[in-house]
Structure 1
Amino acid sequence: MPKAFVGRAQLSTEVESYVREQILTGEFPAGSRVRAENLAEDLGVSPTPVREALQALRGQGFLSLEPRKGFRVLALSDQDIDDVFLAQAFLAGQLARRAATNLSDDQLDNLTQMHDEIDQAAALRDSETVQDLNDSFHRIINKSAGSPKLRLLLSNTLFYVPSRFFATNHQYPSSDHRREVLSALRRRDPDAAEQSMSHLISHSGHLLREFLGNRGIEDAS
């Protein structure tokens, strides 16, 4: 049982996140069955929050429910991944467009330093640091947009990406595309910021598709 579950509030949400990650990393492969009672026993929790979590994942398209057979893991198709990153690239692009005129000079300096540190960590194959810095880089931009509903919509697309994607697959976000984002933000150019951010996110989508395909999680049909 993962210790993170012990004594935690919102247990259903915790179980949901755990199962989603197991699916996205191939630990629960496409076509496999997930039984609430068995999972509850494995995790050391009661079946009720597990059933709630599995129903939530069914609503998100990760599981199907078959009468008298329980839940089955669904495959992610190429089209699924393309659609997720189409939405993510659009939303992140809109946030970057708005951030271009909102970011302070100090924030831009901080983003530039993060960019350099990401490249340094990538050169050292320090995947955990790349992940942490990349998350912070995007968080600063997204918060600076001043558009909380767009940020919420963007967060929903992240359900379909492993939570520690760059740390997990040891591939890294595009330095060139990130540099283009920074250049556009420095110029206070909303159009260029939107376009360059969309390109950066789309590149990450290509990395995810490759990762999922290599792990046998994708279904090309």
Structure 2
Amino acid sequence: MATYDAADWRRERARGRQPLPMEVAGHVRELILSGEVRPGAFLRVERIAEATGVSSTPAREGLLVLRSEGLVRLVPRRGFMVAPFTRQDVRDLFWAQAQLSGQLAARAARLITPEQIGRLEAVLEEFQSAVAVGEPQHITALGHRFHREINLAADARRLALLLRSVVRHLPDRFYAAIEGQVAATRTEHPELVEALRDHDAHRAGELMREHILAGADRLIEVLEERGMWREREDETAQEGPGAGGG
């Protein structure tokens, strides 16, 4: 699985996309949700500031953003600690994304124009080329562009904003590294375009929900391989079924 390091973060920051605290939050969020930083680990403001090339103030503000999301906790006199999260937490995030994305796809199917279908087909063609030459970053960007075109065709700004607030919790930079994701996308995205072209709202919505939900299992498999929950499960096994009894 590919990693997302400080050099990647600095390159994106140079493009001036977000306020510094939000970019710091995005960087640390990726580390947490990719399994590179485990639950229970402490996040030192100074080290994060050094790694991302910012001062301590935006670094701390970025961690406070993650605290509001429930990803980190502020422990008195000790600092910020990565909060525990479970396989079900991962599934819940994907479920929320799937419901919103499915509704947007259904609405898009009713409204989409031939010009918008043409743009989706162009993205599909470019996606296949990027896969053929092995360009992970380009593959990820094209995946996002495909979904963005559908969301724009839905003409449902509020739903799209709600979706954005959910999607930011997910490790999208690892999209191309999750085994099976790219292969599935090569099949599932053309099926979505076909449903949209037919203005089949029910099928478009169902296909989109299935497409998103399958990503949860793929991500969980990756995190399990990285030992995300192994230590906690080993501790539980050692305690035994009767541990903690009154």
Same fold, TM exceeding 0.5?
A: yes
Query: Where in structure 2 are there 5+ consecutive unaligned residues?
Result: 1-5, 234-246
Letter in 2 for 1:46: S
Instruction: Check if 1:194 corresponds to 2:197.
Output: no
Instruction: Check if 1:27 corresponds to 2:39.
Output: no
CA deviation profile, 1:189-221 (whole Å, cap 9, x unmatched): 111111111111112222222222222335787
Q: How well do the aligned residues superpose, as a CA RMSD in angstroms? A: 2.5
Instruction: Check if 1:133 corresponds to 2:115.
Output: no
Distance 1:189 1:50, change over 3 A: same
- Partner of 2:73: helix, strand, or coil? strand
Matched residue count: 221
Distance 1:182 1:42, change over 3 A: closer
Instruction: Report which stretch shifted further, 189-198 or 39-48.
Output: 39-48
Instruction: Check if 1:146 corresponds to 2:155.
Output: yes
Instruction: Check if 1:88 corresponds to 2:117.
Output: no
| 1:32 positional shift | 1.0
CA contact (8 A) 1:89 1:202 kept: yes
1:175 is matched with 186
1:11 is matched with 20
- Partner of 1:165: helix, strand, or coil? helix
Using the size of structure 2 for normalisation, the TM-score is: 0.79
1:60 is matched with 69
- Partner of 2:194: helix, strand, or coil? helix
Distance 1:205 1:7 in 2: 30
Letter in 2 for 1:84: L
Distance 1:81 1:218 in 2: 12
Instruction: Report which stretch shifted further, 20-29 or 178-187.
Output: 20-29
Using the size of structure 1 for normalisation, the TM-score is: 0.87
Instruction: Report which stretch shifted further, 61-70 or 87-96.
Output: 61-70
| 1:31 positional shift | 1.8
Instruction: Report which stretch shifted further, 34-43 or 11-20.
Output: 34-43
- Partner of 1:64: helix, strand, or coil? strand
Distance 1:144 1:169 in 2: 28
Distance 1:118 1:6 in 2: 25
Distance 1:133 1:84 in 2: 22
| 1:42 positional shift | 4.0
CA contact (8 A) 1:177 1:199 kept: no
Distance 1:136 1:186, change over 3 A: same
1:38 is matched with 47
CA deviation profile, 1:29-87 (whole Å, cap 9, x unmatched): 22210122332344443222222111110111211121111111124311101111111
| 1:155 positional shift | 1.0
